[in-house]
Structure 1
Amino acid sequence: MSERIDVALSNGIVTGERERDVCRFSAIPYAQAPIGSLRFAPPVPSTWRGRLDATRPGPVAPQLPSRLRGAMGDFEASQSEDCLHLTVWTPSPDSRRRPVVVWLHGGAHQSGGGALDWYSGARLAARGDLVVVAPNYRLAALGWLCVPGEFANLGLLDNEAALDWVHEHIESFGGDPERITVMGQSAGAASIACLLMRAPRFDRAILQSAPLGRGLRSAEQAGQLADAMLEAAGVRSMGEARAAPIDAFLRAQQAPRVLDVLKAAGGNQNPFGPAADGEVLPIDANEALWRGCGKVDVLIGYTKDEMAAFPAFGVDPEAERVGDALFGAPSRRWAGDAVRSGRSAWLYRFDFAPSARFGACHCIELPFVFDTVDAFIEAPMMSGTMREDARRLTQDLQRAWVDFIRGGSPGWTAGPQPHIFS
């Protein structure tokens, strides 16, 4: 049975719920709704006042179904442009000043959400005596369109705005704003690497299956894609773009001209992602990316069969080669460069493969990092998982992640030699 619990912030009173060992505060706005004149604009701090009911999950960003649903399964969640919210899990909103971990979800910058049950931070917070924060951020065209004369990389600026909110308010939830780890998977991990090109607002980073460098477009390439998107959405100006229905942009993602532009770019590119616009990210973003290795200590890794989660790939030597090129080799390079820069870096590889079809695929570690195996019960990639294996892996991963988040070693020797989870 849950009980309501209040936290006083500068805006007013936030009401959440305590369930057993953890308090949850859902859908706290960290920025104003990015609608109307704020669509395609940088995030503006939230202005709510009075009392905020944070007992129910909020919507995620508008999106199409994930291309990985064949492996991960699907989810049901309401969608809205008014999605710049975050969820906080804490053992208690007291004065303990616990380490904080901020989770940036993956999804190719076009799907997912911090508010999903898949990423509940409740058990991680309870096990590690941590404060866990999971923001939503803008996805697809609304977060990553790069139009000349307009701000680009809005999803990345949303991430920063959420981190600013954490610095300002997390102490009221029992967290320590001077001990922040940012943790992300796939596109979320790539965003962390991009945040390190700027002035990082965190002390440590966990990069899970980070496609480091892949998808970083020049402003010219991103502009060509933006032109195709706007044409496909049927808009001729940014004024029209700010007034167009969101469904127009979602449909445009699959328009033939957009797909042609992506095909011409080569490399099986995703339609959305960071752009080297020269303002939010530097023009030399690909070089600046690797300079970020020396800025924070890191726990970084990948899975053995990354590509098996993606359509048209399976578990075979060629798929493993592609996955290692996209995820494995860059992770090893990051760990090695970080150590050479004087930082501490620990590398891992996740080999647990419960099904022959998906093996140790992209995203397979997530149920164990969060101890949310029950939320992934319908995920095909989890088929064949034995209860004792789930318990063992959850204990092993959470122990390592918590020890790192609390400022220590995850339990193996630092450097570019991976620790294997199997």
Structure 2
Amino acid sequence: MTFIPASSPCADNIPFVANSLKQEHPMIVVYVNYRLNIFAFGDGKGGRNLALKDQRLAIDWTVKHIESFGGDPNDITLAGESAGAVHVHAHMLTEAPIQRAILQSGSLHLSPPQDPIRGEGLCTTLQNILQKEGLTLASASVERLLGALAESKVVSMWLQLTEELSGWETRISHIDQLLIGDVEYESIIWRNGVENMTAAEIVACFDSAGDQALQLKSLYNIDADRPTSCKFGALDFINDTRFTLPVILIRDAYRKAGKTVYVYSFDQANPWQASSRAHHAVDLLMLFGNLDLNAAAAAVRQEVQDKWLGFCSGQALWSEDGMYAFGPYGRCNLITPEEYDSRRRVRSCAFLKHIGSGQYNPICGKLAAGRISLLN
């Protein structure tokens, strides 16, 4: 699922599909533009998660009609990156008619479903703005609704916790195969926001953890006298709680349930500015591979495309108990657990898993809320 137009060079799938033909595993790619913004909430009185329902209509349409395009309705892979992966995870749990799923840099752990009261509160806020002009959520124009949303200063949307998503943290999907992973520097999208925080503000967020605060501050180098270290540590904490740990949790749960799970780490740096590291969404540059890449990134592009195509066609990618690394320096190979430990903060994630999401999610919320930006 994507919010990037298929006509954009960044997401043009023609080379990807052409590669599937070369491999003699032809693929049909269907894009679902899935972001409804405030319209996912309706008027706050009717159905909830309208964006999810809108996406499901697209999935059902694909299942119904894909055979007419030469596809197999019983061989469908649903894939998404970042917020797209959040929604793919939701569809996995609501029994969408898919056989496989790809979660790139995201899951419901990234944006957990919220109490419906919060959605009702947003609708009430917008209604209060509109009623000053004699308008309602139902009568206001699209342009005016978006204007009211800007006035409300709400910068992101979310899924609402309904019965079909209840217990999402421990539920296992019906799908047979899962491909899941992250990039090395996911939390870059919070960098500008966190860099505007003071060390004291960051320390206060961690101190709210009570008995666990001291250990967490030690693991993430949170020290009021070291503001730069505090900011790096806060970004590392967001990265681990929203991306790295969820990969580990989902991997372990699905393997325990007997599912086939392939896990990867993507560590190839930005091909034009390596100092940006392997940041959030840089994997899409290699997956679609339409832009001018250096030799190392081009090597990763070929490997990523081959592996994604193999997964979608039902091939075994690598040893299921192994982990595959894309990059750095153009190298792609299976890595040992020890190598993975050197690429991710596995020890920190183990402690986070031990204390549970009830302890770390509130801290992450305080650090991240309202600070996300694509201008990093």
Aligned counterpart, 2:285: 367
Q: Name the counterpart of 1:119.
A: 11
Shift in alpha-carbon separation, 1:409–1:230, aligned structure 2, 3 A: farther
Call closer, same or farther: CA 1:159–1:303 in 2, change over 3 Å.
same
Shift of 1:139: 1.8
Q: How far 1:409 moved relative to its partner? A: 2.2
Residue in 2 that maps onto 1:414:
320
Report the CA distance between 1:148 and its aligned residue. 4.2
Match of 2:179 in 1: 299
The 5 Å alignment of 1:192-203 reads 192-203=88-99
Q: Which moved more, 1:347-356 or 1:156-165?
A: 347-356
CA contact (8 A) 1:369 1:397 kept: yes
In structure 1, what is the equivalent of residue 300 of structure 2? Answer: 393
2:227 counterpart of 1:322: no
Q: 1:248 deviation in Å? A: 1.9
TM-superposed CA distance for 1:343, in Å, is 0.4
- Match among 238, 247, 255 for residue 339 of structure 1: 255
How many residues are treated as equivalent by the alignment?
283
C-alpha displacement at 1:138, in angstroms?
Answer: 4.3
What's the CA shift for 1:154? 1.4
**Per-residue deviation, 1:234:** 4.6
The structure carrying a bigger strand percent of its residues is 1
Aligned mates of 1:372, 1:233 — CA distance in 2: 44
| 1:164 aligned to which of 51, 56, 60 | 60
CA drift of 1:188 comes to 0.8
**Correspondence for 2:333:** none
* Aligned twin of 2:158: 273
Equivalent of residue 79 in structure 2, options 183, 186, 190: 183
**Closer/same/farther in 2, CA of residues 198 and 211 from structure 1, 3 Å limit:** closer
| Shift, 1:295, TM fit | 3.5
Unaligned runs of 5+ in 2: 21-25, 196-230, 328-376
Name the counterpart of 2:2. 105
User: How far has the Cα of 1:292 moved from its partner?
Assistant: 3.1
Structure 1 residue 336: deviation in Å? Answer: 1.2
The residue identity in structure 1 corresponding to 2:36 is L
Give the match for residue 136 of structure 2: 240
For 1:152, the equivalent position in structure 2 comes to: 48
- Bigger shift: 146-155 or 390-399? 146-155
Q: Distance in 2 between matches of 1:312 and 1:369?
A: 28
Deviations 1:219-263 (A, max 9, x none): 1122112222333345899x83233222222223332xx34xx6x
Distance 1:227 1:241 in 2: 9
CA shift in 2, pair 1:121/1:290, >3 Å: farther
Task: Give 3-state SS (helix, strand or coil) of 1:346's partner.
Answer: strand
One-letter amino acid of the counterpart of residue 388, structure 1: A
State whether structure 2 residue 27 is matched by structure 1 residue 130. yes
Q: What is the alpha-carbon distance in structure 1 between the residues aligned to residue 233 and residue 311 of structure 2?
A: 33
Contact 1:115 1:135 in 2 (8 A): no
d(CA) in 2 for partners of 1:408, 1:372: 25
**TM-score where L is the length of structure 2:** 0.68
Cα pair distance change 1:123/1:356, threshold 3 Å:
closer
TM-score, L = length of structure 1: 0.61
Q: Deviations over 1:203-233 (max 9, x none)?
A: 0000001142324111112211222233334
Give the Cα–Cα distance (whole angstroms) in 1 for the partners of residues 128 and 93 of structure 2: 32
* CA RMSD between the two structures: 2.5
CA, structure 1 residues 233+401, in 2 after alignment: closer, same or farther (shift >3 Å)?
Answer: farther
- Helix, strand or coil at the partner of 2:182: strand
- SS of 2:10's equivalent? helix
CA apart distance, 1:357: 4.7
One-letter code of the match for 1:277? T
Q: Is residue 147–residue 226 contact of structure 1 (8 Å, CA) maintained in 2? A: yes
Instruction: Judge conservation of contact 1:186–1:210 (CA < 8 Å) in 2.
Output: yes
In the alignment, the residues of structure 1 paired with residue 326 and residue 52 of structure 2 have an alpha-carbon distance, to the nearest angstrom, of 31
Aligned-partner Cα distance in 1 for 2:7–2:128: 32
In structure 1, distance between residues paired with 2:250 and 2:133: 42
The residue matched to 1:229 in structure 2 has which SS? helix
Aligned sequence identity (%): 24
Q: Which residue of 2 aligns with 1:403?
A: 310
Q: CA deviation at 1:401?
A: 0.4
How far, CA to CA, are the matches of 2:176 and 2:301 in structure 1?
A: 26
Residue 288 and residue 364 in structure 1: after superposition, are their counterparts in 2 closer, same or farther (change >3 A)? same
Question: RCO greater where, 1 or 2, for CA within 8 Å and sep 6 or more?
Answer: 2
Listed as ranges, the gaps of 5+ residues in structure 1 are 1-103, 107-111, 263-269, 375-385
